[in-house]
Amino acid sequence: MEIKRDVYLNRLVSKMWNGQVKVITGIRRSGKSFLLKTLFRRCLLDNGTKGEDILILELDELRFAQYRNPLVLGQFVRDWMAGSLTRRYLFIDEIQMCGEVPNPALPGGTKITFYDALNEFRSMPNLDVYVTGSNSKMLSKDIKTEFRGRGDEVRVHPLSFAEYLSTFRKDRRDALEDYMRYGGMPFAVTCADDASREAYLKGLFDEVYIKDIVERKKIDHPDVMSQTIDFLCSSTGSLTNANNIAKSLARSQGSGASVNTVAAYIDHLEDAYLFTEAKRYDVKGHAYFDYPQKYYCEDVGLRNARTGFRHQEATHIMENLIFNELVMRGYSVDVGVVVANERNSLGKNVRVQREIDFVVNRAGERLYIQSAYALPDEEKRLAELKPFSLTGDSFRKIIVRNDVGRKWFDETGILNLSVFDFLLDESALG
């Protein structure tokens, strides 16, 4: 079964021949290679490009292992381009597997890396360069520095709910239940049955992600990293930090891992696109808190697989889905905090921190969004909406709910939005 990824395909098409290296990033098995080698290649062929003018190097394949040396890679591409006057396309899959080597012209000096090779390729006037990679520290974090402003990132995520629904065309309520359980990893959604789906998702952590990080980062305590993954998955949507995780592991697992070790492992997991940190932002103070933070899993199916599909916690899973969708749409997403003076049960004034699930910003636009799986009574509704009344500003305020149909505005101007409208219609945010 072929799954369309029109959003990402259109982004690639829009960046053709812009003079930059197109860097396609994202978690492994999210569909980067399929996007580039199948969908984008087909688009080029359909528009008149000849097959011999497209060179594909898959560095994770043994047959292309020699090109993991940037000097060998550079010479091969130069030879391929020699004498060519036609426009050509270079696709390099899993570019982070290209290592660094000594500079033969400068022994003991700065080493040659794949960045040097890519910058040379970029300067060839009739060559358009596209690479994929699964490590953010080697790619997205270095695009502005190593590519000297000549890299253009396209971040690919697992299937959105809209992509999932358009592929399978199920009843949308049934589809959402499946999506909240198994997520949007492309191969997982095409598995024939639930048992195969679960086995595949469970295997991704042990056989792909953990093994890759352990080998690449030379992890001394893979058991601690595995326990850190378990903690982050089970605490989705909850405030935490490396110190809390280290203490928890010490109590429950007897682990003696230091805070610095846990922090380093979290950093590695973020670099592999498995988790994304959401910082806490003081809405009135216009500043970020140092800690604690929240961490959201790149795919809820992976999260559920790691917890054995036991702790479904629909409220937290929906919150994770909303976070991921906002990130996919290009928003910068923080956890909002509003500090207010309130009377406690003893009648004393106390400082209280109220949380807004998401403070989202994009190109000068700001929204406040609360995630509410259900608001069964007035008390719950008022508690959920209380932080909105404390912001002291007029930015739009939205509550995304699983228990409403059509969208509607309440008497204070807050938009109550169905989770389906939110996930399926980007314009629904207004």
- In order of 108, 186, 254, 281, the CA distances from 111 in angstroms are 8, 37, 42, 40
Distance of CA 176 to the CA centre of its chain: 20
Specify burial of residue 34 (Cβ count, 10 A radius: 0-12, 13-18, 19+).
middle
Token pair of 108 as six digits? 């003991």
pLDDT score, position 148: 59
Helix pair 172-182, 194-203: axis angle to 10 deg: 30
**DSSP-based helix, strand, coil % in the chain, nearest 5:** 45, 20, 35
Distance of CA 416 to the CA centre of its chain: 27
Token pair of 355 as six digits? 């949380």
The DSSP call for residue 158 is S
Question: Using CA atoms, how far apart are residues 84 and 408, in angstroms rounded to an integer?
Answer: 60
Q: What is the pLDDT of residues 107-165, one digit of tens each?
A: 888 999 998 999 999 999 999 999 998 876 666 555 556 665 667 889 999 999 999 99
Residue showing tokens 């216009």: 286
Helix (H) or strand (E) holding 305: helix 300-306
The DSSP call for residue 426 is G
Token pair of 36 as six digits? 């580039």
* 2 Cβ contact list (under 8 Å, min separation 6): 38
* DSSP-assigned letters across all residues of 18-83: SSSEEEEE-STTSSHHHIIIIIIHHHHHHTT--GGGEEEEETTSGGGGGGGSHHHHHHHHHHHHTT
pLDDT score, position 150: 63
Are the C-beta atoms of 93 and 50 separated by less than 8 Å? no
Question: Using CA atoms, how far apart are residues 18 and 216, in angstroms rounded to an integer?
Answer: 32
Are the C-beta atoms of 34 and 186 separated by less than 8 Å? yes
Tens-binned pLDDT, residue by residue, of the chain (430 aa): 789 999 999 999 999 999 999 999 999 999 999 999 999 999 999 999 999 999 999 999 999 999 999 999 999 999 999 999 999 999 999 998 999 999 999 988 899 999 899 999 999 999 999 999 887 666 655 555 666 566 788 999 999 999 999 988 789 999 999 999 999 999 999 999 999 999 999 999 989 999 989 988 899 899 999 999 999 999 998 999 999 999 999 988 777 789 999 999 999 999 899 999 999 999 999 999 998 999 999 999 999 999 999 867 899 999 999 999 999 999 999 999 998 888 777 778 888 899 999 999 999 899 999 999 999 988 999 999 999 999 999 999 999 999 998 899 999 999 999 999 999 999 999 7
Q: What is the pLDDT of residues 6-17, one digit of tens each?
A: 999 999 999 999
48: left (phi over 0), alpha (psi -120 to 50) or beta: left
Q: Is 370 helix (H, G, I), strand (E, B) or coil?
A: strand
Angle at 326 between CA 324 and CA 332, to 5 degrees: 110
Q: Which CATH superfamily is domain 6-155 in?
A: P-loop containing nucleotide triphosphate hydrolases (3.40.50.300)
Q: Is 361 helix (H, G, I), strand (E, B) or coil?
A: strand
The DSSP call for residue 254 is -
Answer positive or negative: Cα dihedral of 330, 335, 340, 346.
positive
